[in-house]
């Protein structure tokens, strides 16, 4: 098999991970946060996943050596993506449905494109902008439903999720130019470990009760196993790989597909309602994905080599 073919196959698998596996994490987090404090939950998830990444890396003969600058950058990325970007979303899931959370985050591609324009001077292609507009229309159709926005605490949850979306968008751009460990798998481990420790400190600061795993319900135990192995190690590693391989606005399209997965799983497992309006909105969202993913950008797309080409 030619290297180009292998690279294409890996990119496809990575996109599958951030589209489908990440789409399922909303439902899994919703199940777990029903019993566990949110920051404690997130801390256990990322600390465990980070340690497993390091163990796997050593077994594969990968070096864990890291420079001071790389460690600081990994810490920053861990905070942007995981400590704040994910930990607060888990907290918000106490007040909003899993599908709703995923739907709000679907606005992230627009934020990424605007930040690329403001911070990097990158032009926004007309068809990409059209795709984002379609995505936003789909979101409006979904979240404007009375039965969703009138739930107690939903407004606070929406605002906090929006803050997380900004954190993820900026983090996506930061990773593209940051000096990080040359191996994206090891890099993932450092981000998770630092985020897990940060979340543990936050959990203690908020006075959350730490509950031993043997006292968790069976559904919560299985949810945590899936979140650690697939939602964290597989999907997040794929995310880091894609940020170094394709442009940030392409990676951000996962936030359009994730809601469809989240809505379906929330409906099937958690009895979250899917209305006709939700189905129409889903079609609009996927149409937006088509226009964004099929539009050529002016951004150089480097092959992964540990460093971004200038």
Residue 239 neighbours by CB under 8 Å, 6+ apart? 14, 17, 18, 22, 251, 254
Question: Is 308 domain-assigned?
Answer: no
Q: Give the model's pLDDT for residue 304.
A: 28
Q: How far is residue 148's CA from residue 157's CA, in Å, rounded to a whole number?
A: 12
27 lies in a domain?
Answer: yes
With a threshold of 0.75, does the pTM exceed it? yes
Residue 1 lies in a domain: no
Q: Does 7 reside within a domain?
A: no
| Res 310: pLDDT | 30
Q: Is residue 172 part of a domain?
A: yes
- Please report the pLDDT score of residue 207 as a whole number: 96
Residue 129 lies in a domain: yes
Tell me the per-residue pLDDT of 166-216, one tens digit each, with 9 for 90 and over.
898 888 888 878 888 888 789 889 999 999 999 999 999 999 999 999 999
- Angle at the Cα of 110 (from 175 to 16), degrees rounded to 5? 65
> What is the count of structural domains for the chain?
1
Domain of 150 in residue numbering reads as 16-293
> 170: Cβ–Cβ under 8 A, 6 or more apart, which residues?
80, 115
Q: How many CB atoms lie within 10 A of CB 87?
A: 26
Give every residue of the chain whose pLDDT is below 50, as ranges: 1-3, 296-310
- pLDDT more than 90, % of the chain: 41
Domain annotation covers residue 305: no
Count of residues for the chain?
310
């Amino acid at each position: 098999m030619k290297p180009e073919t292998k690279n294409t196959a890996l990119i496809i698998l990575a996109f599958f991970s951030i589209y489908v596996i990440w789409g399922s994490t909303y439902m899994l987090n919703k199940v777990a946060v029903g019993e566990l404090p949110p920051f404690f939950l997130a801390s256990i998830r990322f600390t465990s996943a980070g340690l497993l990444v390091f163990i796997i890396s050593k077994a594969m003969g990968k070096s864990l050596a890291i420079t001071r600058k790389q460690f600081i950058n990994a810490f920053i990325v861990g905070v942007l993506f995981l400590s704040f970007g994910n930990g607060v979303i888990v907290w918000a899931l106490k007040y909003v449905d899993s599908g709703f959370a995923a739907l709000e985050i679907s606005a992230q591609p627009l934020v990424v494109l605007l930040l690329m324009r403001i911070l990097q001077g990158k032009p926004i292609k007309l068809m990409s902008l059209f795709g984002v507009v379609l995505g936003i229309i789909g979101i409006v159709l979904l979240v404007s439903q009375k039965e969703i926005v009138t739930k107690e605490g939903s407004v606070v949850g929406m605002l906090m999720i929006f803050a997380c979306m900004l954190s993820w968008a900026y983090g996506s751009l930061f990773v593209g130019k940051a000096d990080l460990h040359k191996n994206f798998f090891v890099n993932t481990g450092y981000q998770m470990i630092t985020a897990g420790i940060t979340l543990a400190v936050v959990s203690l600061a908020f006075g959350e009760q730490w509950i031993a795993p043997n006292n968790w319900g069976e559904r919560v135990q299985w949810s945590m196993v899936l979140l650690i192995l697939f939602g964290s190690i597989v999907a997040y590693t794929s995310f880091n790989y894609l940020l170094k391989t394709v442009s940030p606005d392409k990676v951000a399209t996962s936030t359009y597909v994730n809601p469809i997965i989240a809505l379906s799983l929330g409906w099937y497992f958690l009895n979250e309602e899917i209305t006709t309006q939700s189905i129409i909105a889903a079609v609009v969202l996927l149409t937006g994905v088509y226009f964004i993913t099929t539009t050529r950008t002016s951004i150089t797309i480097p092959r992964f080599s540990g460093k971004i080409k200038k």
